[in-house]
Amino acid sequence: MSIGDARIRIPDRISRGDLITVNAIISHPMDTGFFRTPEGQPIPAFFVKDVVVTYGDEEVARFVWTSGVSKDPIVSFTLKADREAPLTLTWTDNRGSVYRRAADVAFASA
Amino acid sequence: MASESSSRRSFLRRCAVAGAGLFGSGTLLHGERLLALQRPSLGPGDPEVPNEAVAKILKDLFGDRPIRKGHLSLDMPLVAEDGRIVPVIIESDLPMTPANYVKAVHLIVDHNPDPHLAAYYLTPALGSVALQTRIKMKRTTWCRAICETSTGDVWGAYAHVNVSLNGCG
């Protein structure tokens, strides 16, 4: 996986009003800036500093991270599925790169 | 006669009360001693007495509001073999209604280079507080999860994690 590859997992079947668990992972080195390469060169800090969760047009959560979060950071949270709308996660790292993924919250027709 | 007997009675009563008080304080002291025996970590390393950096973070975030224990659970392993990947689960039974919800959860690891490791800002649309992630830890220390509700209450949960391998370089 290259830097910025991300996945969002939500349940396959969702009914209106369900409390669903959202799992998300992004491939990122999360370098702290304290390590060195085998040649002795310092590895500069490079980490995801901010994750924004939007559901439809509404911002429902924002996570502020430091380099203390593990490499290839995962995050899991719940969401009250009360309408059909895309769920978007936007990761921003400390070099200004923005990574965005979306998952469609759609209700099962049953 | 009547007044004399009543004064005598009240004197006896006072004696009884004083005796009960002495006895009560004795048992309390004994209880505290037992508690101290059960918790050998009481001291600078106890989560109630944070180090300077953590004290400053707590002060900046919550001011002088008391951080009460409860309504929040911080689930972390007792022993983390690899400090680079330490799983964290934060859950709460607090309501998530527009009138009263958890607006922020802060994760603080006492002896990390940056103790204020992560902040999760939430809204009622999430329905509940159930966060999971993985963090890095430098060494054996206390971790704190502290949440703030929209009404201004502050709740905390603590976990002591033994770290075998430094994950922060």
Rounded to the nearest angstrom, the minimum Cα separation between A11 and chain B is: 15
Q: Inter-chain contact A32–B113, Cβ cutoff 8 Å? A: yes
The answer to whether the beta carbons of residues B114 and A66 sit under 8 Å apart is: yes
Q: Residue B142: name the closest of B7, B46, B60 by CA.
A: B46
| Chain A nearest-CA residue for B122 | A61
Q: What is the pLDDT of residue B29?
A: 46
Report the DSSP pairing between strands A74-81 and B129-135.
antiparallel
Question: In the block, which residue shows the tokens 């969401």?
Answer: A79
Rounded to the nearest angstrom, the minimum Cα separation between B106 and chain A is: 9
pLDDT tens, B50-89? 688 888 899 999 988 888 888 999 999 999 989 999 999 9
CB pairs under 8 A between A and B: 99
Q: What is the pLDDT of residue B31?
A: 46
Q: Inter-chain contact B121–A66, Cβ cutoff 8 Å? A: no
The answer to whether the beta carbons of residues B166 and B83 sit under 8 Å apart is: yes
CA distance A4 to A101: 10
Residues 136-155 of B with CB under 8 A from A: 136
Q: Mean pLDDT, to the nearest integer, of B146-154? A: 93
Rounded to the nearest angstrom, the minimum Cα separation between B90 and chain A is: 10
Higher-confidence residue: A57 or B28? A57
Q: Inter-chain contact A35–B169, Cβ cutoff 8 Å? A: yes
Helices in B39-131 by DSSP H: which ranges?
Answer: 52-62
Q: What is the pLDDT of residue B12?
A: 52
Contact list in A for residue B84 (CB cut-off 8 A) is 70-71
Q: Mean pLDDT, to the nearest integer, of A22-34? A: 92
What domains can you pick out in chain A, each with its CATH number?
A: 6-105 (2.60.40.10)
Rounded to the nearest angstrom, the minimum Cα separation between B60 and chain A is: 16
Nearest 5 degrees, angle CA B53-CA B59-CA B61?
105
Q: What is the pLDDT of residue B27?
A: 46
- Dihedral of alpha carbons B61, A94, A92, B132, sign: negative
pLDDT tens, B5-60? 556 666 556 655 554 544 444 444 444 444 443 443 444 445 666 688 888 899 99
Asked whether residue A109 carries a pLDDT value surpassing 90, the answer given is no
Q: Mean pLDDT, to the nearest integer, of A61-84? A: 94
Residue A110, chain B, CB below 8 Å: the answer is no
Residue B165, chain A, CB below 8 Å: the answer is no
